[in-house]
Structure 1
């Protein structure tokens, strides 16, 4: 008996020390990327000072707009946004799943105890006399206590690969939260730019309403003096009504954007009315980044998440391959049984087992090899998804840089057009007052001026959004924000002493 037990222990020890991990080890995909972006013509390599400046800009890019209100809104959004908090709890959940998978490395032990009466059937021929019950009575009292345990020997690395996959999944979930943070900051900044530009448009509309009122007053004055006519007066009144009507949708947009910003901050719509309703000067368009090497693409959380998903899929191949190999488990049971309390601890009441069990898959109709092929296909799909993520990221950066450069000249031309139109409108009103032109010329120049001013305002919005889109495409903003874990309303610490004692 002792020799056999020693042989079993020796076998188990030998297996443990000779354990191997089957399946492929993860290797990063060697995708080649250009050293610089096409839309950037760098005449000389970036200096250390330029690289340091760019890295700093990547950390808190929203501060480059020189708008303290925007900076404060970003801080509130990071602290209060519910989607970001939900992403934090997903990280906690994935870590718990990883820990649950790692628990397979350790013996699983449970204790049990019980007492009661049982009755056996006696309507069976040749029923053997039960030990300890010589009179063969059908009923008996039983008291029992004991423990059961099971320990899986991770000989071929199934558990190791499973833990590895869940660890990579934790990292992917962290990158997913960072990607969500970037999207949140991008949406918040874009909404804030839209708010300020819309308020600028309301100011333009209000100014044009005053101009239309002056034109109506002038038309009425000329009519009373016998120079004008009722047609001109009606046209001036219609223009004034149109200008007033055009301002109302802008007010609605301000309210809607303010509500959207409040929700991004985790607040009820309307809570930011007092803070945001007062118009401010437009944020300053930041300077173009000092240096733009393509290595900055390593900042993008979506690329980092796709790379981690590829690592997850690679580890899952090992899990599938391990199922083709033998499975070793050490089950242990200890359950004394007796009919009286004083007998429970006697030698004759002892009942236990200690075994080394091995199982080998023999015939499963191709199920196990199919699972391996499926895991390999999923890993290849994850690798291709990573590559596609890199391509999409480069496209977004190139598009953002192209828009940045092209919109500079576009905005300058619209600014010049707005100034020229305003001058033409002022001259037309003076000429109309002198009776040298008709009111139609006044209407035409005023409408042209309004259109040019609104187009200039929208061009300013595009310039601001170009900056937001570029920094977002570069993966900027998440490095300066630490991961935050949400506290759960129910935890082991809130439970009774038994739950806390046996929670491991």
Structure 2
């Protein structure tokens, strides 16, 4: 070490002074406080504890709502359908939207870690080598030429003490943005699992409706043939034939939309599982293979805001907006910059790190904004307005969350009643069909009456299929509205970042 280099005792002293300056600083701007949970005791004016049951019908079990039941982290397995479980598991491994959300979280996390460097001094090292040639400008018989070399190794230190908390508020804002990215990833996971379940249920419902529609078309075709035969024998009028032909055309017209919807559901399932439409997953879900969960969770209203990813993301955005106020205020205050250099100079590289030729310097500079054309003031005002905006967006998100749960509870109740009515209608239509068939065989009813009874039964069967699918979809909607149980999954519960 050169004689003029800073002594070993002086360096720790300087670092101690810098640490004191950093600790002594205060973080300007508001300190964020999490919003208090809504003061409400229920989601709706009246919430039934148990839905009505429809015995001996798929999807007709009574469902009980229990606040003591936690949401399963893999709630889709409660339907006891291997096909549905396989579809969801495949989507969690291959869905590009979920992978993109996970990558966005990694970006936000690395940005937060990068900001930590602002709390520490920046150290850089350099080595400069120079060679020069000079000569005496006076005219002489012998030129006087001087050649020299100069080597300068140097270490530079720069540090900006966080006197008013600019770095702390910036880091706080980035942490909140990282949390928002995490909550957005959770929302993508929740939306994905619910969409796969809904698409599979709708796919099964459409295939059952298409089968019933094919049978209706076949029945109407037979009816048209029977009426046409009667018209040829003089027992039916051309008006009867035209009416039956119109009935057949109307029934046939309902098939193409169903086929279109089925193709769309296949394409949707392929996309959700990370495949192209030509590579649709082979699983075919059957409504009869599903088991309707009977014990449903119902989180307390105060817990909902800590479970819904969209509410958590809105809270993180509010936190980031709060930190932005501190950043804007700190930008209007003076900043301190401390720099130091230490090194040596030598004419030979071998002497550059030896004694002699050493130098060091330590300087501090205070910079304060004097006139910025009002931009800093308006940036602070914009940050405060942004906080108000984020606060109202948070409130809107909470209201929407409660609305989703209330709507789902109403659907659970009324669709259970709808399934019961649809089952009664299908049972009555089946009874009518059985009686018509007996009367036709005994010669007391016409074949057209039998076909009409069969048409009525198939139409009631389609209504029953739709009612069954609605009950399964309502159950999926409840799990989604309550947050989907992500906190019960190991890959998400290990790092909740303060939630």
Q: Say whether the fold is shared (TM-score over 0.5).
A: yes
Partner of 2:308: 300
Q: Deviations over 1:146-195 (max 9, x none)?
A: 22221121222221121122112211211111111111111111101101
Secondary structure of 1:205's match? helix
User: Are residues 1:289 and 2:296 paired?
Assistant: yes
After TM superposition, the structure 1 stretch with the greater mean CA deviation from structure 2, 9-18 or 395-404, is 9-18
The answer to whether the 8 A contact 2:220-2:451 is kept is no
Aligned mate of 1:97, from 96, 101, 111 = 111
Is the aligned partner of 1:473 residue 2:477? no
**Per-residue deviation, 1:280:** 5.5
Deviations 1:336-387 (A, max 9, x none): 4455435644666444322222223333333333222222221222122111
* Structure 1 gap ranges (5+): 123-134, 485-504
Cα distance per residue 1:54-100 (max 9 Å; x no partner): 20x44332223232211222222222211111111111111111111
Match of 1:34 in 2: 40
Structural mapping, 1:200-349, within 5 Å: 200-212=208-220, 214-215=222-223, 246-276=254-284, 279=286, 281=288, 283-287=290-294, 289=296, 291-297=298-304, 298-334=306-342, 336-338=344-346, 340-341=348-349, 344-345=352-353, 349=357
CA contact (8 A) 1:196 1:282 kept: no
Tell me if 1:109 matches 2:129. Answer: no
- Cα distance in 2 for partners of 1:364, 1:136 equals 54
| Alignment match, 1:126 | none
Label 1:75 to 1:383 Cα distance change in 2 as closer, same or farther (>3 A): same
1:194–1:461 contact (8 Å) kept in structure 2: yes
Alignment match, 2:101: 87
Tell me, what secondary structure is at the counterpart of 1:149? Answer: strand
Is 1:400–1:466's contact at 8 Å kept on the other side of the alignment? yes
Quote the RMSD (CA, aligned, Å): 3.9
Instruction: Give the distance between the partners of 1:256 and 1:229, measured in 2 at CA.
Output: 43
1:40-439 alignment, distance < 5 Å: 40-41=46-47, 50-52=66-68, 54-55=69-70, 57-117=71-131, 142-212=150-220, 214-215=222-223, 246-276=254-284, 279=286, 281=288, 283-287=290-294, 289=296, 291-297=298-304, 298-334=306-342, 336-338=344-346, 340-341=348-349, 344-345=352-353, 349-424=357-432, 434=443, 439=448
TM-score by length of 2: 0.79
- Aligned match of 2:461 in 453, 456, 462? 453
Q: Summarize the Cα distance change of 1:384–1:112 in structure 2 as closer, same or farther, 3 Å threshold.
A: same
Matches of 1:291 and 1:341, distance apart in 2: 76
Verify the 8 A CA contact 2:87 2:283 in the aligned structure 1. Answer: no
Structure 1 residues 222, 43: CA separation in 2 closer, same or farther (over 3 Å shift)?
closer
How many Å separate the matches in 2 of 1:408 and 1:40? 16
Gaps of 5+ in 2: 51-64, 137-143, 493-499
**Partners in 2 of 1:322 and 1:395 — Cα distance?**
40
TM-score where L is the length of structure 1: 0.78
- Which secondary structure does the structure 1 equivalent of 2:160 belong to? strand
| CA deviation profile, 1:229-282 (whole Å, cap 9, x unmatched) | 888778767766765664454344333312211221122334345322x75625
Given that 1:40 and 1:292 are in contact with CA atoms closer than 8 Å, whether structure 2 keeps it comes out as no
Q: 1:408 Cα deviation (Å)?
A: 1.8
Q: 1:338 to 1:252 in 2, by over 3 A?
A: same
- Larger mean CA deviation between 475-484 and 378-387 belongs to 475-484
Q: Distance in 1 between matches of 2:293 and 2:371?
A: 67
Q: Which has the higher contact order (CA 8 A, sep 6+)?
A: 2
8 Å contact 1:36–1:292 — kept in the other structure? Answer: no
